[in-house]
Amino acid sequence: MLQLFLPLNFLGFVYREIKRALADISRMFQLLDVEPAIADAPDAVPLAVSQPAVRFDRVSFGYRSDRPILRDVSFEIPAGRKIAVVGASGAGKSTLARLLFRFYDVDAGAITVDGTDIREVTQDSLRAAIGVVPQDTVLFNETIEYNIRYGRPEADRVAVERVARLAHLDAFIAALPEGYDTMVGERGLKLSGGEKQRIAIARTMLKDPAILIFDEATSSLDSHAERAILDAMRDVAADRTTLVIAHRLSTVVDADEIVVLDHGRVVERGRHAALLAVDGRYASMWQLQRQAQQQQV
């Protein structure tokens, strides 16, 4: 019996291994399918930006064809204005930013910058026009100056100081014993979440982008840090076309328009006061965040 069992058992093992290998290969192709390399069109031209208005025109998109993430989304950020996108986790907010940066192409509809479809321009020129302040900022075990200059390595000290002022970091840096030469990161000064994000703002401003995407950190900040970020954002976003992916509603109160996303659809839009008056989705999000803040105090 044992003589029969062992070969059969072995055959079963071989069968399972082959099945797993086939599944791995099929998963690999699925991955290749969902992460397509975006190529420049053969006749792509550099993006010329004079009035950097951004327009999402009936955009639909899914990372996989069987799971739509954005459905028929339209909104416009007029040149120099600030639009905030809010919505529950997974609603598709960051996906909008990834599409504008052209990590992926839309499945339907179009995204235009200054009237030009972003599929018609070179990716380098598109990405040069857009500055992204990410949720999580990577800091190097280097000086504050180095960490800010990383946004544009050839920038001089005057430029670094200018963006530090814009990001409301100047007083903080002046109070450090070694100022701009203070080492930060794991082996240096530990920066708070709010300070890190202001370093990210300063870094991005060195690029002087026509369009700014601000992907707000989800972590809650104390009211002092919150105020400092709000002030920094207000100053850098003034007269700059800005898309804020908002997690904290305090950031969106002064937006020119708030777009409320739900399961990839725009369900409400308008300014803060108007949306509160409607007493719909945005108003209930606002109430919930207010209650959560009051419980923290």
CB-nearer residue toward ligand ATP: 210 or 259: 259
Q: Is 260 in the site for ligand ATP (CB under 6 A)?
A: no
**Count of C-beta atoms within a 10 Å radius of residue 268:** 19
Strand partners, 241: 211
Strand partners, 258: 84, 270
Cα distance between residue 214 and residue 227, in whole Å: 16
Q: Is 92 in the site for ligand ATP (CB under 6 A)?
A: yes
Q: Is 91 in the site for ligand ATP (CB under 6 A)?
A: yes
CB-nearer residue toward ligand ATP: 49 or 99: 99
Work out which of 12, 36, 46, 90 binds ligand ATP, going by CB under 6 A. 90
Work out which of 55, 81, 93, 248 binds ligand ATP, going by CB under 6 A. 93
Q: Is 220 in the site for ligand ATP (CB under 6 A)?
A: no
Q: How far is the CB of 245 from ligand ATP (least distance, A)?
A: 6
**Residue 260 and residue 87 in contact, taking contact as beta carbons nearer than 8 Å:** yes
Work out which of 59, 69, 206, 258 binds ligand ATP, going by CB under 6 A. 69
Cα distance between residue 202 and residue 166, in whole Å: 7
Give Rg (Cα) of the chain.
Answer: 24
- Residue located via tokens 């007493």: 279
Q: In what order do the strands lie in the sheet with 70-77?
A: 70-77, 54-61, 108-113, 116-117
Q: Is 52 in the site for ligand ATP (CB under 6 A)?
A: no
Q: How many residues bind ligand ATP (CB under 6 A)?
A: 11
Q: Please report, as ranges, the residues that interact with ligand ATP according to CB under 6 A.
A: 34, 63, 69, 87, 89-95
